[in-house]
């Protein structure tokens, strides 16, 4: 069997085109959605991600404010910035790139963000809303992107067994909650496996949908999936490759070559889930702007 490639790049483009139109209409009504991204420190990968998020926002017609603070920033100063952004009427979405330097408590920072501006969906109030099935919650961008990819490529999770490999707060746990929702794109039977799971293959072989989000190359191999499975690869791992100009290449958590011989559909890395995360951040920002306008009357 040769798999269909689910192109996150193409689906994200489609979503961003829809958002461009929506933002243009909102701007005509006098509402300019605004996104603030906050980067603390100079981690190269984080700088790249935050830069991409800011540029994508600007391209969509979203007002973008990018704040970069030194790695030595105190927790107090970061909390003061968040307070300012919470009270800024031009800002509807706040994203603090994780991880933060060790002197700053991530949980305290996430708790300080106004849940209505929490476009990452990481605030405990939003985690709770997602867990209790609130249809209007701002849901974390990467798992939301995975649901969009499945639905838009004709894979309805309803009634299927989805196995998520990975239990992070950013992907694995919210992914499980979204797939469980009694809503379009949900209604799956969900298993969450992780690094301590015994005989992972025995579990993934029962899956109709495998979502790999562990951060380790080749975690899912051909022998670990059943024919016809849909595989979504959330991993982005750098592996040494002296043939490449940079000396490395980016691969996912799935052995793409092997698994694509068995799967009916699979996402590539790069060009899979990555572009969807950014598209969903823009979608969350637009949703937050609309809700905040409504709440302001
Ligand atoms: N670090 C890795 N992924 C993410 C994300 O989706 N949002 C934020 N804020 N930080 C991250």
pTM of the predicted model, to two decimals? 0.97
Name the class of domain 31-114.
alpha beta
φ, ψ dihedrals at 263, nearest 5°: -75, 155
Distance (angstroms) between ligand 1 centre and the Cα of 206 equals 30
Does 297 have pLDDT greater than 90?
no
Ligand 1-lining residues (CB < 6 angstroms) = 95-98, 120, 141-142, 170, 277
The CATH 3.40.50.720 portion of the chain extends over 141-274
In the chain, % of residues over pLDDT 70: 100
Condensed to tens digits (0 to 9), the pLDDT of residues 38-74 reads 999 999 999 999 999 999 999 999 999 999 999 999 9
Does 1 have pLDDT greater than 80?
no
User: Of 97, 117, 118, 208, which one is the catalytic site residue?
Assistant: 97
Distance (angstroms) between ligand 1 centre and the Cα of 128 equals 19
User: Of 22, 53, 160, 253, which one is the catalytic site residue?
Assistant: 53
Condensed to tens digits (0 to 9), the pLDDT of residues 129-181 reads 999 999 999 999 999 999 999 999 999 999 999 999 999 999 999 999 999 99
Nearest CA to 176 out of 168, 129, 279 is that of: 168
Do residues 188 and 224 touch, judged by C-beta distance below 8 A?
A: no
Beta-carbon contacts of residue 234 (< 8 Å; ≥ 6 apart)? 142, 146, 166, 171, 211, 212, 213, 252, 253, 273
Condensed to tens digits (0 to 9), the pLDDT of residues 6-33 reads 999 999 999 999 999 999 999 999 999 9
Q: Is 53 among the residues known to form the active site?
A: yes
CATH superfamily of 141-274: NAD(P)-binding Rossmann-like Domain (3.40.50.720)
Query: Burial code of 194-225, b = ≥16 C-beta within 10 A, e = fewer?
Result: eeebeebeebbeebbbbbbbbbebbbbeeebb
The CATH 3.40.50.10860 portion of the chain extends over 31-114
Mean pLDDT taken over the chain: 97
Distance (angstroms) between ligand 1 centre and the Cα of 22 equals 25
Atom of ligand 1 nearest to the CA of 277: 6
């Amino acid at each position: 069997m040769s798999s269909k490639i689910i192109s996150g790049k193409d689906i994200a483009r489609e979503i961003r085109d829809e958002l461009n139109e929506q933002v243009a209409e909102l701007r005509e009504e006098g509402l300019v959605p605004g996104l603030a991204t906050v980067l603390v420190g100079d981690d190269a990968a984080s700088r790249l991600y935050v830069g991409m998020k800011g540029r994508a926002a600007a391209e969509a017609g979203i007002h973008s404010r990018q704040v970069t603070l030194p790695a030595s920033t105190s927790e107090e100063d970061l909390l003061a910035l968040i307070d300012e952004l919470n009270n800024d009427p031009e800002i509807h979405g706040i994203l603090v790139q994780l991880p933060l330097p060790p002197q700053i408590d991530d949980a305290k920072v996430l708790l300080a963000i106004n849940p209505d501006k929490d476009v990452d969906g990481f605030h405990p109030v939003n985690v709770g809303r997602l867990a209790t099935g609130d249809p209007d919650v701002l849901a974390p961008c990467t798992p939301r992107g995975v649901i969009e990819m499945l639905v838009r490529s004709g894979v309805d999770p309803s009634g299927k067994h989805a196995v998520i490999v990975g239990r992070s707060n950013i992907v694995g746990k919210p992914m499980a909650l979204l797939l469980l929702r009694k809503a379009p794109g949900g209604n799956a039977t969900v298993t969450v496996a992780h690094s301590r799971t015994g005989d992972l293959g025995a579990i993934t072989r029962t899956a109709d949908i495998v979502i790999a989000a562990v951060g380790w190359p080749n975690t899912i191999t051909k022998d670990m999936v059943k024919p016809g499975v849909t595989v979504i690869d959330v991993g982005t791992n750098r592996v040494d490759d002296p043939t490449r100009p940079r000396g490395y290449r980016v691969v996912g958590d799935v052995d793409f070559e092997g698994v694509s011989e068995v799967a009916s559909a699979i996402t590539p890395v790069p060009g899979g889930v990555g572009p969807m995360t950014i598209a969903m951040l823009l979608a969350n920002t637009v949703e937050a702007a609309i809700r905040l306008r409504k709440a302001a009357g």
